[in-house]
Structure 1
Amino acid sequence: MGHTVEVEVLTKQGCHLCEEAVAVTREACAEFSVTFIEHDITEDATLLASFAEEIPVLRIDGRVRDFWRIDPQRLRRLLREATAGS
């Protein structure tokens, strides 16, 4: 049994790039039957300190994979690779 792929989108309120990132991530994750979590960085001081200038940030299995604009093709490739071992 493979591991569950953990996909996170770090966002903050009123960020239009964040809304786009969540939409792109939702669509790509649905294709791979992967759920994702949206974290508002303003609710977590550690995330806010680390990522305030980079959001939205895409993390897969805890590793930052993209920020500002999420590339749908790249995201699909990363998800394909991440789910291949499951």
Structure 2
Amino acid sequence: MAGMSPMFRRGGRRTENPGSSSTKGPGERLVTLIRKPGCHLCDDAQVVIEKVCGDLGVPWEQKDITQDEELHREYWEQIPVVLVDGAQHTFWRVDEERLRRALTK
């Protein structure tokens, strides 16, 4: 897995058509951080998510991969994983500007 681009998407869940999110306002978007306890990359990702979502008024949530067998099976090698409106946005590192663009497009 090393060296793979954050754009790599391994199956992942999609809950809606990715093109449909462009008509949503900031309050209608949802960012999900999939993380595990004690993960420094997860802590770094949370800082970026809190900043971007706070600036834009976008709600966000976090899910503990150790408490959800399906999330664990799907994302264990990629955490932290960030979903935007249920679709995988990135993993390992969160780029502030890329997340901001995804939420304002």
Normalized against structure 1, the TM-score is what? 0.89
1:84 alignment counterpart? none
Residue 6 of structure 1: how far off its partner (Å): 1.3
Normalized against structure 2, the TM-score is what? 0.74
User: Would you say 1:27 and 2:51 are equivalent positions?
Assistant: yes
DSSP-derived class of the 2:78 partner: coil
1:55 alignment counterpart? 79
Residue 73 of structure 1: how far off its partner (Å): 0.8
DSSP-derived class of the 2:77 partner: coil
After TM superposition, which residue ranges in structure 1, 4 or more long, deviate above 4 angstroms? none
DSSP-derived class of the 1:49 partner: helix
Write the deviation string for residues 32-83 of structure 1: whole angstroms up to 9, x where unpaired. Answer: 10110010111000000000000000100110011000011100101111xx
User: Would you say 1:70 and 2:88 are equivalent positions?
Assistant: no
Q: Distance in 1 between matches of 2:65 and 2:29?
A: 21
DSSP-derived class of the 1:70 partner: coil
DSSP-derived class of the 1:53 partner: helix
- Structure 2: where are the runs of 5+ without partners? 1-23
Aligned partner letter, 1:10: I
Aligned partner letter, 1:26: E
User: Would you say 1:36 and 2:60 are equivalent positions?
Assistant: yes
Q: What value does the CA root-mean-square deviation take over the aligned residues?
A: 1.4
Percent identity over the alignment is 39
